[in-house]
């Protein structure tokens, strides 16, 4: 069964197309119009091994909020669509990601019960052209749309670029592990309820 998801999301504020393949090799073609967001989504694709093609246009003449948030929504929706009923997945995963002086932890549950815990403090207001408060908005939008319980925590670090990048890489590695098919339970849904 191919686990692929394609979403076209159009509003008065943004137009976003996402095409992803969970069982890919981490190949990507990403253009959101926001340089730093592109960089983070490239990390997400590469380290999760999820192939991603993302094209986003938004009202960046106002600010970057709508494009950032709606990109999170569209990627989450595409992932949920690709998963279908979540048969055979491992469901839970976590990752500790070091990046130079920084250490971040990400844990998740692909539960269809979205929730975000965000324990990340950044010392600067902008990274590139992005307001750093927008990263929480991206993770919130993604977790809600994908139906994922997501805990993101920066344990320590000084450089804000390293902190955010380690969070995206932590999400990537956690997704890669949680989305893997469990060879002992290939045909079952990982829940005593029988559905997620």
Residue 24's domain comprises: 4-179
Output the CA angle 45-135-43, nearest 5 degrees.
20
pLDDT string in tens for the chain (196-residue length): 799 999 999 999 999 999 999 999 999 999 999 999 999 999 999 999 999 999 999 999 999 999 999 999 999 999 999 998 899 999 999 999 999 999 999 999 999 999 999 999 999 999 999 999 999 999 999 999 999 999 999 999 999 999 999 999 999 999 999 999 999 998 888 887 878 7
CA separation (Å) from 174 to 13, 92, 143, 188? 31, 8, 13, 21
Indicate the pTM of the whole model: 0.96
Q: Establish if 187 belongs to a structural domain.
A: no
Q: Establish if 186 belongs to a structural domain.
A: no
Please give the tally of structural domains in the chain. 1
Residue closest to 119 by CA, chosen among 163, 159, 85, 76: 163
Q: Establish if 58 belongs to a structural domain.
A: yes
Q: What is the CATH number of the domain that holds 163?
A: 3.30.230.40
């Amino acid at each position: 069964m191919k686990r692929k998801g394609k979403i076209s999301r159009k509003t008065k504020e943004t137009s976003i197309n996402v095409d992803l393949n969970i069982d890919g090799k981490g190949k990507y073609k990403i253009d959101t119009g926001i340089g730093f967001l592109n960089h983070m989504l490239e990390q997400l694709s590469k380290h999760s091994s999820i192939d991603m093609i993302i094209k986003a246009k938004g009202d960046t003449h106002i600010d970057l909020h709508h494009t950032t948030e709606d990109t999170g929504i569209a990627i989450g929706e595409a992932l949920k669509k690709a998963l279908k009923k979540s048969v055979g997945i491992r469901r839970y995963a976590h990752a500790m990601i070091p990046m130079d002086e920084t250490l971040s932890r990400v844990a998740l549950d692909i539960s269809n019960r979205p929730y975000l815990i965000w324990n990340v403090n950044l010392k600067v207001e902008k990274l590139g052209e992005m307001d750093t408060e927008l990263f929480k908005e991206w993770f919130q939008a993604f977790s809600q749309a994908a139906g994922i319980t997501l805990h993101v925590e920066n344990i320590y670090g000084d450089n804000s670029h390293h902190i955010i990048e380690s969070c995206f890489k932590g999400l990537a590695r956690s997704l890669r592990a949680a989305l893997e098919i469990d060879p002992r339970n290939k045909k079952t849904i990982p829940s005593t309820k029988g559905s997620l």
